[in-house]
Structures are given as C-alpha cells and as structure tokens.
C-alpha cells in the first residue's frame, strides 16, 4: 500500500491534543479522513491545524508532542486506502 507523509505547514511547536487534559486527535493505528485534524502547530500563540490530507490509517508520528518543528518537517505517516 502507498504511504503519505504529513508535513508541517510552518515552523512552531507540535501538539497532538487540543488541550493538555484532552484526548489526542488521533492515535497510531486509527483510521483518519483527509480533512481530519491530527495535530496543531503553534507559532506565537496562534494555532494551525494539521490535517491528515488523505483517507487511511495513521501509521506513526515522526515527532513528539511539544517538539519544535521546521517548516516542511515530517509529522506523521499515513497508509493510504
């Protein structure tokens, strides 16, 4: 099956959850849709949603929560349907 790499749209800090006490947007092994949010990138208190981009199964995250990202850095891998 084909794999799709999800990349950071901008530099910032990556978060897998909408808030510290919330559940993660998605876990490895879960089904995702193209328009589903899988994380957030924060830059100067502004948050940008990171969408899956394809329908499939989230294989893994390439970064940890609260990791600093560079623009274009890979965030996750999705196995495409």
**CATH of region 3-80:** 2.40.50.100
**Buried-state track 37-70, b at ≥16 Cβ within 10 A, e below 16:** ebbbbeeeeeeeebbbbbebbbeebbbeeeeebe
User: What is the rounded distance in angstroms from the CA atom of residue 57 to the CA atom of residue 54?
Assistant: 9
Per-residue pLDDT, 74 = 98
pLDDT given for residue 45 in this prediction: 94
pLDDT of residue 23: 96
Name the residue ranges covered by the structural domains of the chain.
3-80
Give the model confidence (pLDDT) of 16-70 as tens digits.
999 999 999 999 999 999 999 999 999 999 999 999 999 999 999 999 999 999 9
Does 1 have pLDDT greater than 80? no
Confidence of residue 81 (pLDDT cuts 50, 70, 90): confident
């Amino acid at each position: 099956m084909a794999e799709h790499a999800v990349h950071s749209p901008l530099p910032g800090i990556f978060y897998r959850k909408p808030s510290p006490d919330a559940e993660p947007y998605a876990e490895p092994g879960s089904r995702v849709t193209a328009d589903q949010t899988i994380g957030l990138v924060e830059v100067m208190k502004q948050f940008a949603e990171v969408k899956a981009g394809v329908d499939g199964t989230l294989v893994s995250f390439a970064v940890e929560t609260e990791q600093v990202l560079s623009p274009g850095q890979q965030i996750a891998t999705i196995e495409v349907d």
